[in-house]
Structure 1
Amino acid sequence: MQNNSKITPCLWFDDQAEAAAQFYTSIFRNSKIVHVSRYGDAGQEMKGKPAGAVMTVSFELDGQPFTALNGGPTFKFNEAISFQIFCDTQADVDDYWQKLSAGGDETAQQCGWLKDKYGVSWQIIPRILIELLNHPDAATSQKVTTTMLQMKKIEIDELKRVAAD
């Protein structure tokens, strides 16, 4: 399967690549699994994966291509890499937050960041947050920043209220 994108994130899983791709494509609109490739005999020799086990899953989230790789337990996700989801409404923030955080690490939730059940970090960002953080009045920007730093999931109405005070 040819991918015409110049940059495609590759997510390394132990053996959950297909389940993760199914999970993510169920959350994002206009998403799909494009192709599943499987290990041959070399998979057993090099990675301890039996012939026929899923090796990679090519999938798209709202048109953005991704690859999920079952590469074994060597590497784990951490917060050094995250995916940002920009939202126009609180309903979108709430929806993505609820779905992506289900079964995830609740201790990793702060300032719009969450960690999903596979350990992947996401930032659920209302577009208005960026506007308010860059407000021309430094005092307003500071109040918004202070409020945001105290939140787990970002609440648009609260940010607007603080900015208006």
Structure 2
Amino acid sequence: MGGFIDFFLENPFLIIVLIGVLTSMLGKKKQTQDPGTPPKKKWQEVMRELQGEMPQANQQQKHAPPPVRKVEQQAAQAVEVIDETKNEANKRITELRRLQQKYDQERLYQKAKADQLTSTISDKNSPVYRKGPSFGKKQLIDGIIMSEVLGPPRAKRSLHRSRR
């Protein structure tokens, strides 16, 4: 008997499997003993009951007069819903127009402010703004040629570029 217990204690996996089997068996017994649950029906029985109820419901609907009042009520409700949606749409449109006007006013204000700043900056007498010299294509080519002529000779310059 001692060897049997030692065998189980050396194999923890078997202990886990045994505990799982015992708990599942005890859990099933508790479920079947619960008196509060109704007995389970097979799905075939449930389908037969439903099919038996369906023809009775169809016969009752055939004998009933057509629901004229329901249609009138639904039409009245549809008109109310359409009116509400139109009102909401008109409110949203007026709100969007108001926001668009506000945005346009703000944009015009910002543009005027920017124009005022650029006119102040572009003042010819201002010490901040000085127009620099402008070079054309011919002047740039002449400048490169003159830098080669006036600069140190090519023989004294290194042939390899410095890595920076």
Could you say which TM-score interval applies, normalised by the shorter chain? under 0.3
Q: Greater strand share, 1 or 2?
A: 1
Greater Cα radius of gyration, structure 1 or 2: 2
Give the TM-score of the pair, scaled to structure 1.
0.17
TM-score (norm 2): 0.17
Determine which structure has greater relative contact order: mean sequence separation of CA pairs < 8 Å that are 6+ residues apart, divided by chain length.
1
